[in-house]
């Protein structure tokens, strides 16, 4: 699905620092939580970019920054070449028509006091230009049908639906304005495993139908592999490795990626015996005070002097071959086939 076309979304050096303040009346800044600290990636039309990483690595903050729900401290988010990270007012409204979001928890992302008609119809109430007058109800029913729900249920309340159905409602709301990009912030992690697959497949179907681009945030590596064309691995506010799905999963070069992949459950008990598990020691360092140089060095088995002094850039490393040739932020990037190592 990946094409060499012009990227629809370019993220350049995106930074978000949350100030840490002290004092009640006269607040002074005593530091900052570096939630996102220089993230770069591109998204092309019709592509799915998976964003993985453990809790607290800044994945959701990236989503909020892309949605302009938080203001970036620095850096740019370019939608079709235009920086959208600083727009406001009318321009922001038009950006919102093109970039929408699907939330993690379908139990909290739908207003319990609004009917499905109101929830999915709200985009049209906010953007009256998106639907000709009087057609909003009809559009809502079309959307319900599109996501596999009964269009007759438009006067029901969210609590009358199951988790999977609610997430479908959330997806229908995201689709209402015909956006080109949908940011999915862990859209299935609150659902049962069986329902996860249904929702994922619905999202793939919709992508094919409308040429949507997804930024798919998750911590479930299996799901990310299933849906993504390319995958970016985040650690402590930075992308440590980015590449196509095959490059990341079958030919990981960054030690953190390798450690993550080694934690994926293997179904075959015989194979499980033979595979090497990389167990990381220690906790994730505080994003308010990240380690110098490489942020992963405190937990990395390869760490050496240079890792503390020089920050490894996210770039294609020399000395690698085949699928291992992709951007990796490690001084000692080296392919290690984790998934098939048996």
According to DSSP, the β-strands at 28-44 and 7-22 are antiparallel
Contacts with other proteins, 172-191, as mask; x by CB under 8 A: -x---x--------------
Closest by Cα among 327, 328, 324, 320 to 338 = 324
Q: Show contacts with other proteins in window 6-35 (CB under 8 A).
A: none
According to DSSP, the β-strands at 99-102 and 7-22 are unpaired
When asked if residue 223 is in the footprint of other proteins (CB under 8 A), the reply is yes
- Using an 8 Å Cβ cutoff, are 9 and 77 in contact? yes
Residues across the chain: 342
According to DSSP, the β-strands at 230-235 and 238-244 are antiparallel
* Of the candidate residues 3, 29, 160, 315, the single one contacting other proteins (CB under 8 A): 160
* Of the candidate residues 2, 29, 222, 309, the single one contacting other proteins (CB under 8 A): 222
- Using an 8 Å Cβ cutoff, are 29 and 73 in contact? no
Question: What sign does the dihedral 74-80-82-84 (CA atoms) show?
Answer: negative
When asked if residue 267 is in the footprint of other proteins (CB under 8 A), the reply is yes
Q: Show contacts with other proteins in window 276-305 (CB under 8 A).
A: none
Nearest 5°: CA angle at 317, between 315 and 321? 130
> For other proteins, which is the closer residue by CB, 148 or 291?
148
> For other proteins, which is the closer residue by CB, 207 or 298?
207
When asked if residue 69 is in the footprint of other proteins (CB under 8 A), the reply is yes
When asked if residue 145 is in the footprint of other proteins (CB under 8 A), the reply is yes
Binding residues for other proteins, per CB under 8 A? 67, 69, 92-93, 96-97, 100-101, 103-105, 108-115, 122-123, 125-127, 145, 148-150, 152-157, 159-165, 170, 173, 177, 192-198, 200-202, 204-205, 221-223, 225-226, 264-267, 339
């Amino acid at each position: 699905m990946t094409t060499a076309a012009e990227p629809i979304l370019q993220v350049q050096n995106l930074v978000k620092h949350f100030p840490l303040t002290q004092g009640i009346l006269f607040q002074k800044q005593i530091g900052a939580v570096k939630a996102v600290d220089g993230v770069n990636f591109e998204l092309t039309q019709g592509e799915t970019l998976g964003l993985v990483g453990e809790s607290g690595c800044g994945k959701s903050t990236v989503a909020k920054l892309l949605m302009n729900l938080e203001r970036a401290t620095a850096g740019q988010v370019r939608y079709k070449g235009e920086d959208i990270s600083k727009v406001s007012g009318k321009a922001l409204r038009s950006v919102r028509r093109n970039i929408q979001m699907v939330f993690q928890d379908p139990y909290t992302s739908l207003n319990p006091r609004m009917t499905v008609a109101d929830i999915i119809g709200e985009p049209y109430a906010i953007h009256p230009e998106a639907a000709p007058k009087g057609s909003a109800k009809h559009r809502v029913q079309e959307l319900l049908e599109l996501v596999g729900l009964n269009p007759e249920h438009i006067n029901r309340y969210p609590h009358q639906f199951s988790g999977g159905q609610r997430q479908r409602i959330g997806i229908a709301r995201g689709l209402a304005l015909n956006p080109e990009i949908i940011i999915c912030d862990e859209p299935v992690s609150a659902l049962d495993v069986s329902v996860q697959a249904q929702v994922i497949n619905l999202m793939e179907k919709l992508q094919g139908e409308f040429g949507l681009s997804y930024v798919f945030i998750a911590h479930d590596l299996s799901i990310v592999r299933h849906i993504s064309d390319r995958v970016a691995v985040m650690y402590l506010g930075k992308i440590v490795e980015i590449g196509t799905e095959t490059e990341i999963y079958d030919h990981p070069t960054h030690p953190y990626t390798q450690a993550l992949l080694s934690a994926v459950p293997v179904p075959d008990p015989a194979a499980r015996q033979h595979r090497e598990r990389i167990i990381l020691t220690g906790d994730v360092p505080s994003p308010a005070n990240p380690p110098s140089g490489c942020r992963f060095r405190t937990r990395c088995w390869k760490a050496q002097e240079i890792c503390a002094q020089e920050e490894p850039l996210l770039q294609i490393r020399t000395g690698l071959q085949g699928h291992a040739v992709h951007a990796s932020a490690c001084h000692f990037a080296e392919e290690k086939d984790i998934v098939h190592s048996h």
